[in-house]
Amino acid sequence: MSKLNYHHLYYFWRVAKQGNLTKTAEALHISQSALSAQIRQLEATMGVELFVREGRQLRLTESGQSALVYAEEIFKRGEELESLLSKGIQPELLTVRIGVLTTMSRNFVESFIEPLIRRPNTKYMLHARGQVNLLNAVANHEFDLALTNIQVLGTNKELWQCQLLARQPVAIVGPPDLPLGKAFSSRYKDHEWVVPVSESPVRSAFDSFCAQHQFKPRIVAEADDMAMLRLLARDTGALAVMPNVVVKDELLQGRLVNYLTLPNVYENFYAVTVKRQIQNQLVSELINSAIKT
């Protein structure tokens, strides 16, 4: 049997949301000392510190932040269960929280969440983070899943679940009507290039391609963000290296042309989750939809 006292957890939850012990005690109609004692008992039971004091305010510790995420879910589900059992009312909204790597293609993200668009009684929240912050947030259950183009290869297999969603071919794109032909040739030497930064897997593959053809591109710009590469490809008149999905609208409109798809070069897109006792049903639906596409 769990040692967790949900009465204590409820008090913690209310204080964490309010951020002030006195105001929470007044709202709950109990004394401040009694409320403080309840939270200390919860901390003692769990063996962690949940708050640190900063003047008259309380700040959540790292453990407190994690506890708050769980408490939010627990009491939200409790309210839904009460409504379902007493009134037969289903939850008004299904919510999914998605973390997105800051440098990923926004077109891919939009295609991933497409099943949710115009779906009734559904809410989705998107948050952009760097890779480390992204994974920490998933581990702390701030997000239901994360979208990234960097495979998670950590040793903790009990924690991470990394699912390949799609492989997008990488192409050389540029303004229309360039006399480049269907095969890579010396004609490409006459043009400027915008490319991903050297740390990018796409850039590494392009560098290998260039070495194979003994070709040194005249690089005028580098970017680690696919949205910026899209703008540079669209507005500079230079050739650019990126997955087709990044500039799919420009390709359809004829503003850019795919001159050459690099052989055996792909950008991979992953969904990262962690094992949970209660899985968000929207997560599996989104992942399965993306894999089938």
Domain(s) of CATH 3.40.190.290: residues in the chain: 167-267
Q: How many CA atoms are closer than 13 Å to the CA of 130, on its beta-carbon side?
A: 3
Positive or negative CA dihedral for 16, 19, 25, 26?
negative
Asked if residues 254 and 176 have their Cβ atoms less than 8 Å apart, the reply is yes
Domain(s) of CATH 3.40.190.10: residues in the chain: 94-165+270-292
**Cα–Cα distance list, 288 to 94, 131, 205, 274 (Å):** 17, 23, 29, 16
Residue 113 predicted with pLDDT over 50 = yes
Mean pLDDT over residues 14-40, rounded? 86
**Per CATH, which fold does 167-267 belong to?**
D-Maltodextrin-Binding Protein; domain 2 (3.40.190)
**Per CATH, which fold does 94-165+270-292 belong to?**
D-Maltodextrin-Binding Protein; domain 2 (3.40.190)
pLDDT band (50, 70, 90) for residue 139: confident
Min mean pLDDT across 15-29, 100-114, 192-206 is at 15-29
Q: Cite the beta strand spans of the chain per DSSP E.
A: 51-54, 57-60, 94-101, 122-129, 145-148, 160-174, 192-196, 218-223, 239-243, 257-274
Min mean pLDDT across 6-15, 229-238, 249-258 is at 6-15
Distance (Å, whole) CA 258 – CA 174: 7
Highest average pLDDT, of 133-137, 156-160, 268-272, comes from 268-272
**What is the per-residue pLDDT for 1?**
39
Residues 6+ positions from 187 with CB-CB distance below 8 Å: 179, 180, 181
Task: Characterize the bridge pairing of strands 145-148 and 257-274.
Answer: antiparallel
Distance (Å, whole) CA 142 – CA 66: 8
In which residue are the tokens 């949900």 written? 6
Distance (Å, whole) CA 10 – CA 12: 5
Of residues 226 and 221, more confidence is placed in: 221
Asked if residues 124 and 94 have their Cβ atoms less than 8 Å apart, the reply is no
Three-class SS state of 194: strand
Please state, for a pLDDT cut of 90, what percent of the chain lies above it: 35
Three-class SS state of 171: strand
Q: Give the orientation angle of helix 32-46 with respect to helix 6-18, to 10 degrees.
A: 120
**Per CATH, which fold does 6-87 belong to?**
Arc Repressor Mutant, subunit A (1.10.10)
Mean pLDDT over residues 222-250, rounded? 92
Domain(s) of CATH 1.10.10.10: residues in the chain: 6-87
Distance (Å, whole) CA 200 – CA 194: 13
**What is the per-residue pLDDT for 145?**
93
Mean pLDDT over residues 39-47, rounded? 87
Own/partner pairs, 284-287, CB within 8 angstroms, 24+ separation: 285/115, 286/96, 286/112, 286/113, 286/115, 286/116, 286/145, 287/145, 287/163, 287/165
pLDDT band (50, 70, 90) for residue 275: confident
Residue 217 predicted with pLDDT over 70 = yes
- pTM exceeds 0.85 for this model: no
Please state, for a pLDDT cut of 70, what percent of the chain lies above it: 90
